[in-house]
Amino acid sequence: MSRRVASSSGAEAAQNGGNKDLTPQKEPPEGRVVLRKKVTLLRGISIIIGTIIGAGIFISPKGILKHSGSVGMSLVVWIACGVLSLFGALSYAELGTCIKKSGGHYIYILDTFGPLMAFVRLWADLIAIRPAGLAVISLAFGRYILEPIFAPCGVPEIAIKLATSIGITTVMYLNCMSVSWTARLQIFLTGCKLLAMAIIIIPGFYQLYKGNTQNFENAFQLESVQLTGLPLAFYSGMYAYAGWFYLNFVTEEVENPERTVPLAICISMAIVTICYVLTNVAYYAVMTAEELLASDAVAVTFAERVLGNFSTAVPIFVSLSCFGSMNGCLFAFSRMFYVASREGHLPEVLSMIHIRRHTPLPAVIILYPMTLLSLWSGDIYSLLNFMSFLRWLFIGVAVLGLIYLRYTKPDLPRPFKVPLFIPAVFSFTCFLMVFLSLYSDPVNTGIGFAISLTGIPAYYIFIVYKNKPKWLLRFTDYMNRSLQIILEVVPADL
């Protein structure tokens, strides 16, 4: 992973704790090869909403109900998780407006706690979390896009994986070709998600208007509320809201980030929380708690009861929702690999930009073979179980870094500033969820932790160790130059 002399300053910065220049970067003049600022407020909102709302709210929102024990308490948990997620999003809004660099968790950890911890996070993302996560979302897309075709029969697994591969290829191609078209597609798909939720909410509330409120009677029965299960209910809820941090992965491409980032985050979280709560109310207006727990796809069961023949459209909306999540996730975390390469933690070619399309093409396509490998290799859900707790561990560390910066860099410009109790409450929540993972599933959590720790020797071998064989340095340089020619990419003109 060594870099050429021309970019050795990035590697030195990485080893010395990251680039400590946290001042805003000016927009470069036209004609230079850079990532353009094409993420407007509307596009920022679509990135956040489009990545938060995936298949979960349509397929299986029963984890919260199962662990909370009652209809009323489950709705309280949905609201509380929305508020807690807003706390995290506001904390990231402050981080994104004082550290105006793309990269999300990685760059915040790098600039506050140094390169080793940031590299461990990056290593886990690169070798497991991101490929497996994208493969899981894509599998849901493949399954639901084919369901109307094969109904009433089940969809063959090979057909699902082929459709999934086509979906992954399509979203990769779009992200390589144009930032503008990727953002426009995200706006369209986000509109489809909100339309799908409206198709559920409006008939559900019509049922309530007609007086079908029996499922809300005794909604807070104390004997059914499971206090010991509430932490697990919150754990499920926080996963449903995960995705509010993706705009921070593309901060350098956001127009007027001091205003756009906080505003997009606040608007998006308000919309998502309201939609989630109203959708669950609509479910309960039609189904009892027992029926919801027994359903494998709640939105499909709901539609079959209320929408009649139109219910066949629901799987299409679910697949479009998954495609939007695929598109938004890839757009965001490809920028993390781009920034990590720029900081000296990944091969140099990943920080290069297409000379005409101005997209970080190598950073986008690096996930393509790894995602397909995860898709076809076996049980990717187990891999996600291994790694799930790492997300909250490093998000908690990043938010803790906000508190750390308040004391170590009190004069750092902060266009947007949150009360200190907000990051304190949220980081505590993240570490509590990590503890719950260790307590409830120590084996899988331990395996995930062990996999992430392999990033420590990798850091010292690939980044710190300088006396690499000359043949390896020549081979690395040759590969960088060859890929640069093949992909038509050049270093960013900073």
Query: Are 52 and 241 in contact, with CB atoms under 8 Å apart?
Result: yes
pLDDT at site 120: 92
Q: Identify the band that residue 264 occupies on the pLDDT scale cut at 50, 70 and 90.
A: very high
Closest by Cα among 419, 51, 27, 4 to 251: 27
Contact 51, 249 (CB under 8 A): no
More confident residue, 159 or 226: 159
pTM for this model (two decimals): 0.85
Q: Which fold has domain 36-458?
A: Amino acid/polyamine transporter I (1.20.1740)
Q: Which distant-in-sequence residues (6+ apart) come within 8 Å of 144 by Cβ? A: 55, 315, 316, 318, 319, 322
For 432-464, write each residue's pLDDT tens digit: 888 877 777 788 778 878 888 899 999 999 899
Percentage helix, strand, coil for the chain under 3-state DSSP, each rounded to 5: 75, 0, 25
DSSP H or E segment with residue 71 = helix 71-98
SS3 146: helix
pLDDT tens digits, one per residue of 182-229: 888 999 999 988 998 999 999 999 988 888 888 787 777 766 666 666
Please check whether residue 112 is in contact with residue 401, taking contact to mean a CB–CB distance below 8 angstroms: yes
Please report, as a single letter, which amino acid is at residue 19.
Answer: N
